[in-house]
Structure 1
């Protein structure tokens, strides 16, 4: 059984961009698309539209919303099999439940105005941290820099081998017949020179080489799969969140991982993920490092 691409819609401009992105992804990957609107309409049972249908106004509007979304997808991508559903639940709980049987969960970012447009909505943030499948958050605003077709950027962390995020990014780049930019950010501690007094060259060179060596080790495993993706290395000094945001300029997708460790596994994204979700100009995929068995 092939799980669908699931997209959440709420009638906002952001969810419309998410819908279009999800529909294109479903068409490209030849997966079905499931359109979901999570709405607690039963709270408003006392409200009726002017044309009394005998049903809550919120339910009528929700059904119209998903029907319109389905029609839009069918018009743009006739080859995609589309289903649509209204879930009378709190959005975060409903979407996390959907993630158990989804190949990918797509959400729009929320925000109004020039400044607020950079801020991520609480639903998108919560779902990205708790989802059991990869989540893609699509910015409301179009990027200032046109994206290069097929370019996918992934952050490579401290794990010994390729993470789930790295494998996901490789597959995305390969399926797009594009290129994968594997980014390893590094920083030289102020006390680095004292820790490496016998290393040839400066402490800065030593730290950079260590980062480059680690990136090569990870990519050596990743490239053995022969996926067909053209993989490029980028070893950059600086804070990881800043490096990734800059590297993602002009990309079609930025991929980061989220670790499921500790008592609150999956519920906290971490500083780097928060930053890229808020400020990256392209869609951001958040991939859990240990998918829950289905």
Structure 2
């Protein structure tokens, strides 16, 4: 049985753009699309019923939201199989459970709350941090276009190769027919012991050189290059790969790379704790500030 691509919908504009993006992605992957709305409406409405329908008003609204989302997806991609569900649960728990039987999950960057106008929605952060499947959070100005103007997939490579994230990024690049750019950030000891903040990409070389004076940076760059090569050693020959090592903080380097990317892919490792997978500082930063959609891929095993 093919696992579906799951989309969390709530009727907001970001969630509708997520439906568009996911419909294109499902078509590319040949997967069914599952649209889910989750809310504990009974907690807030009790037995209050919508007039003439005999259902809680929130349930009526939820059914309308998923129906509208399904029509939008089918209008965009009529060849994609679409199913819907309305779940009377907290969104975080419902989506995390859905993620156990999903190929991937797509979420908008904001929900319907007023606070979400300024911050990444708490649901998106929670799900991206704990889901068992890859979670794509739609950020940036071109979030509803999977194919149009395709440029490249960016993969953030850490000190330890994240095989699941590499595989995901390779598949996304292959599906779109675009290059994969693998980026490994590195820092010399002088960067690690100074409080100075430098722009991503080392755009002030004289200042950078002054901070590094007397500290051999080349071994650190060579180590980053070796780690990058190790992460990419099994990439198939039919995928065009650009390798890049950049001096600077990983989160800033990746934010800079996201400016003209179609998708930024980062890995997330499991840590001890009641809730399992947690986001590190790099993944957390790009989820909040990336200029393009971000895929957070959990490392299995």
TM-score range, shorter chain: 0.7 to 0.9
Residue-by-residue CA offset, 1:106-130 (whole Å, 9 max, x unaligned): 0001179xx9656211000000011
Cα distance between partner residues in 1 of 2:74 and 2:171: 26
Matched, 1:163 2:163: yes
Cα displacement string for residues 75-117 of structure 1 (whole angstroms, at most 9, x for unaligned residues): 11100000000011100000000001100100001179xx965
Between the two proteins, the alignment pairs up a number of residues equal to 276
Aligned-pair CA distance for 1:217: 2.3
The equivalent of 1:203 in structure 2 is 216
Contact 1:245 1:280 (8 Å CA) reproduced: yes
Q: Secondary structure at the match of 1:80?
A: coil
Relative to structure 1, the CA distance from residue 263 to residue 41 in structure 2 (aligned partners, 3 Å threshold; closer, same or farther) is closer
Give the SS at the match of 1:254. Answer: strand
Look up the match of 1:195.
none
1:65-76 correspondence runs (5 A)? 65-76=65-76
Once the two structures are TM-superposed, the CA of residue 222 in structure 1 deviates from its matched residue by: 2.6
Query: Does structure 2 conserve the Cα–Cα contact (< 8 Å) formed by 1:156 and 1:182?
Result: yes
Farther off after superposition, 164-173 or 147-156: 147-156
**In 2, Cα distance between equivalents of 1:93 and 1:116:** 19
In 1, distance between residues paired with 2:58 and 2:140?
Answer: 24
Residue correspondence of structure 1 range 144-155 to structure 2 within 5 A = 149-155=150-156
* Mapping of residues 74-223 of structure 1, within 5 Å: 74-110=74-110, 117=117, 119-139=119-139, 141-142=141-142, 149-159=150-160, 161-190=161-190, 203-219=216-232, 221-223=233-235
Quick one: distance in 2 between partners of 1:71 and 1:259? 37
TM-score by length of 2: 0.85
Gaps of 5+ in 1: 193-200
Distance 1:162 1:96, change over 3 A: closer
Q: Aligned pair in 2 of structure 1 residues 212, 140: CA closer, same or farther (>3 Å)?
A: closer
Which whole-Å CA distance do the structure 1 matches of 2:25 and 2:74 have between them? Answer: 14
Aligned: 1:45 with 2:58: no
Change (3 A) 1:111 1:189: farther
| Distance in 2 separating the partners of 1:118 and 1:108 | 14
Does the Cα contact within 8 Å between 1:186 and 1:211 map onto a contact in 2? yes
What residue is the counterpart of 2:247 in the other structure?
237
Instruction: Decide whether aligned partners of structure 1 residues 283 and 147 sit closer, same or farther in structure 2, where only a CA change above 3 A counts.
Output: farther
Partner Cα distance (1:166, 1:139) in 2: 21
Q: Give the Cα separation in 2 of the matches to 1:269 and 1:21.
A: 23
**1:206 shift after superposition:** 1.8
Residues 140 and 156 of structure 1: is their aligned pair in 2 closer, same or farther, counting only changes over 3 Å?
Answer: closer
Shift of 1:215: 1.0
Q: Cα–Cα, structure 1 residues 140 and 238, in superposed 2: closer, same or farther, change >3 Å?
A: closer
Q: Which residue of 1 aligns with 2:266?
A: 256
In structure 2, the partner of 1:279 is 289
User: CA offsets, 1:190-249, max 9 Å, x none?
Assistant: 299xxxxxxxx9611221121112212222x232x33x2210011001110000010111
Counterparts in 2 of 1:264 and 1:209: CA distance versus 1, 3 Å: farther
**Aligned-partner SS, 2:189:** coil
- Contact kept, 8 Å, 1:118 with 1:278, in 2: the verdict is no
Aligned equivalent of 1:269: 279
Which residue does the alignment assign to 1:198?
Answer: none
